[in-house]
């Protein structure tokens, strides 16, 4: 490999660096016995004690064991000798020092910066418990380290030099310098501990679920055993991920939510650490009635009967309403495309929504969500003839006691309409929510093309108060699914008076 040489030390050929006292001693003894199987542990301990006596007790057991290993011709890697010897730390670096050897942990590996001169520079952030510093490399070295390093790796740097640039200390690499990647731990605190201590945006995520949506993916996983969601747009370069993977997420934008949420952007890097078997996922796809009392931080999606997809009056998106037998759920979406697509599905159709999160006690739909129709409306039995039934399949005549029409013109030029009515049939009341075009047309007694023309010419906002007044007090025939909380998914509606 061209400079800097990025070598890897086999975990079978060196002890764990940074181990103190008896644990380090046992590591070295184990290494000696692997190379000298004719010796016994007791014999090696005897040789260690002899070296301590020879040196008047001025060295500890693990240092004496290193001497014994050297005398026996057992190789000890330079990285191990470094961490047991000089103990150079980031805080010890001073401008002008050259020929440096340093063991550190990689914390950030950003994209190389292309300069106007045609050169490339990469600043790899490394650190230990004492501090952090940028390791600055150029051109071919920049490309090699960009591809070869990732956050969390322990590295041994040989041939380094320290200098100040714009008032900040940096670590450079001499022409003959090299970097050795240590496969095991090196006595330096973990990546998570160092990133937390030094305020660096790097987290490790175990992938549990992957929701493929329009324009991107939503990853549900665990960070430090706590739920986390990661949004990855298709337009950005990122590896393919599946359940069971362990990934490192560097420089992602943190989003709002009751659980941790991040969005990958152009500065973000996603590193796959391991490809493993899928974990038992803590994230749940629940029925509407179950979701009401569930832990929202581990909610993956909701199953229920589609009631309506109501547009917001301002801003993109709107509310998706699903019903169960006992209750209904409102999920906020910020995508007009979602509102339009779900508005075309017949009410009371069973669907699954995946890509849910909660924020401020409200359920919301991630940008990269998905939905699936899972069956037919459960309306085959004989319907009850009044709202007094409480829940189930209902067919009755009721009076509109309040009415509100929700309207907004989407960027596509298509009108988004919804009707919210409270009705009373003398035995009970229901909240009727409608976004299905055919039913809207029957309630407003208009053709859809006519409504589109009103929207295109700008007349719709002026007509809405008139249309609401026309519906108010009308008797309507309704057939559909009623949940116990009074929300009705209407599959047929007709104005019979008013």
Q: Which of 380, 294, 297, 280 is nearest to 329 (CA)?
A: 294
Q: How far is CA 113 from CA 89, 105, 132, 137, 143, in A?
A: 27, 22, 20, 11, 10
Asked if residue 335 has a cis previous peptide bond (ω within 30° of 0), the answer is no
Chain centroid to CA 78: 39
Helix (H, G, I), strand (E, B) or coil at 345: coil
E-strand stretches of 224-349: 226-233, 245-250, 253-255, 260-263, 269-275, 284-287, 299-311, 318-323, 328-333
Phi/psi of residue 254, nearest 5 degrees: -80, 135
Q: What is the dihedral of CA 209, 214, 216, 220, to 10 degrees?
A: -20
| The pLDDT value given to residue 17 | 42
Exposure of 270 in the CB half-sphere (CA atoms within 13 A): 24
| pLDDT tens, residue by residue, 256-292 | 888 899 999 999 999 999 999 988 899 999 999 999 8
Contacts with 146 (C-beta within 8 Å, 6 or more apart), sequence order: 109, 111, 112, 122
| The pLDDT value given to residue 18 | 41
Pairwise pLDDT comparison (27 vs 217), residue with the higher score: 217
| pLDDT tens, residue by residue, 407-435 | 999 888 889 999 999 999 999 999 999 99
Chain centroid to CA 46: 54
214: left (phi over 0), alpha (psi -120 to 50) or beta: beta
Q: Which of 197, 80, 85, 186 is nearest to 130 (CA)?
A: 197
| The pLDDT value given to residue 139 | 92
| pLDDT tens, residue by residue, 39-54 | 999 999 999 999 888 7
Distance in angstroms between the alpha carbons of the first and the last residue of the chain: 85
- Rounded Cα–Cα distance for residues 41 and 30 (Å): 8
Pairwise pLDDT comparison (497 vs 1), residue with the higher score: 497
Q: pLDDT band at residue 12, thresholds of 50, 70 and 90?
A: very low
- Taking the complete model, does pTM exceed 0.95, yes or no? no
Residue 59: is its pLDDT beyond 50?
yes
Q: Whose structure tokens read 């650490």?
A: 273
Tokens of 70: 């050297």
Asked if 169 contacts 180 with a C-beta cutoff of 8 angstroms, the reply is: no
Asked if 305 contacts 323 with a C-beta cutoff of 8 angstroms, the reply is: yes
DSSP per position, 89-110: -GGG--TT--SEEEEEEEEE--
Phi/psi of residue 270, nearest 5 degrees: -115, 120
| The pLDDT value given to residue 229 | 96
Domains recognised in the chain with CATH numbers: 1-188 (2.40.50.140), 201-275 (2.40.50.140), 284-373 (2.40.50.140), 387-497 (2.40.50.140)
DSSP per position, 128-175: ETTEEEEEEEEHHHHHHHHHH--TT-EEEEEEEEEEEETTEEEEEEEE
For the chain, the average pLDDT equals: 89
Q: pLDDT band at residue 313, thresholds of 50, 70 and 90?
A: confident
Q: Which of 353, 366, 374 is nearest to 309 (CA)?
A: 353
Residue 76: is its pLDDT beyond 80?
no
328-333 vs 362-373, strand pairing mode: parallel
Element (H, E) at 431: strand 429-434
Size (the chain), residues: 498
Percent of the chain surpassing pLDDT 70: 91
């Amino acid at each position: 490999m061209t400079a800097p040489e990025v070598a890897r030390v086999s975990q079978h050929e060196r002890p764990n660096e940074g181990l103190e006292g008896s644990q380090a001693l046992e590591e070295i003894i184990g290494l000696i016995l692997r190379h000298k199987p004719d010796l016994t542990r007791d014999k090696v301990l005897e040789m260690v004690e002899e070296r301590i006596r020879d040196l008047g007790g001025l060295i500890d057991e693990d240092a004496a064991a290193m001497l014994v290993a050297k005398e026996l011709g057992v190789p000890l890697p330079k990285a191990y000798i470094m961490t047991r010897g000089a103990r150079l730390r980031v805080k010890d670096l001073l401008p002008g020092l050259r020929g440096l050897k340093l063991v550190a942990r990689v914390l950030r590996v950003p994209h190389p910066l292309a300069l106007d001169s045609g050169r490339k520079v990469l600043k790899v952030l490394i650190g230990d418990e004492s501090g952090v510093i940028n390791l600055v490399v150029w051109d071919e070295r920049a490309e090699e380290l960009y591809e070869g390093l990732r956050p969390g790796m322990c590295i041994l740097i040989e041939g380094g030099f320290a200098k100040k640039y714009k008032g900040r200390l940096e670590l450079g690499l001499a022409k003959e310098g090299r970097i050795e990647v240590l496969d095991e731990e090196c006595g330096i605190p973990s990546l998570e501990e160092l990133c937390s201590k030094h305020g660096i945006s790097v987290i490790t995520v175990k992938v549990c679920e992957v929701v493929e949506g329009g324009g991107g993916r939503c990853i549900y996983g665990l960070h430090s055993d706590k739920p986390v969601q990661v949004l990855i747009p298709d337009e950005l370069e990122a590896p393919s991920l599946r359940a069971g993977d362990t990934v490192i997420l560097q420089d992602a934008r943190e989003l709002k939510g009751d659980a941790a949420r991040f969005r990958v952007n152009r500065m973000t890097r996603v590193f796959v650490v391991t490809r493993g078997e899928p974990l038992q996922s803590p994230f749940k796809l629940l029925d509407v009635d179950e979701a009401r009392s569930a832990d929202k931080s581990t909610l993956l999606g909701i199953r229920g009967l589609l009631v309506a997809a109501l547009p917001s009056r301002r801003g993109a998106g709107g509310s998706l309403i699903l019903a169960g037998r006992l209750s209904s759920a409102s999920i906020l979406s910020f995508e007009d495309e979602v509102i339009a697509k779900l508005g075309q599905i017949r009410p009371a159709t069973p669907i699954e929504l995946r890509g849910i999160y909660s924020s401020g006690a409200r359920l919301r739909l991630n940008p990269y969500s998905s939905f699936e129709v899972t069956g037919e409306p459960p309306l085959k039995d004989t319907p009850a003839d009044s709202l007094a039934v409480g829940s189930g399949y209902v067919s009755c005549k009721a009076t509109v006691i309040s009415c509100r029409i929700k309207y907004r013109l989407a960027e596509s030029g298509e009108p988004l309409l919804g009707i919210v009515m409270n009705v009373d049939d003398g035995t009970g009341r229901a909240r009727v929510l409608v976004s299905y075009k055919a039913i809207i047309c029957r309630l407003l007694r208009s053709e859809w093309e006519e409504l589109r023309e009103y929207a295109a010419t700008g007349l719709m906002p002026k007509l809405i108060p008139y249309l609401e007044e026309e519906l108010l007090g009308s008797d309507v025939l309704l057939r559909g699914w009623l949940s116990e909380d009074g929300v009705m998914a209407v599959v047929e509606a007709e104005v019979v008076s008013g």
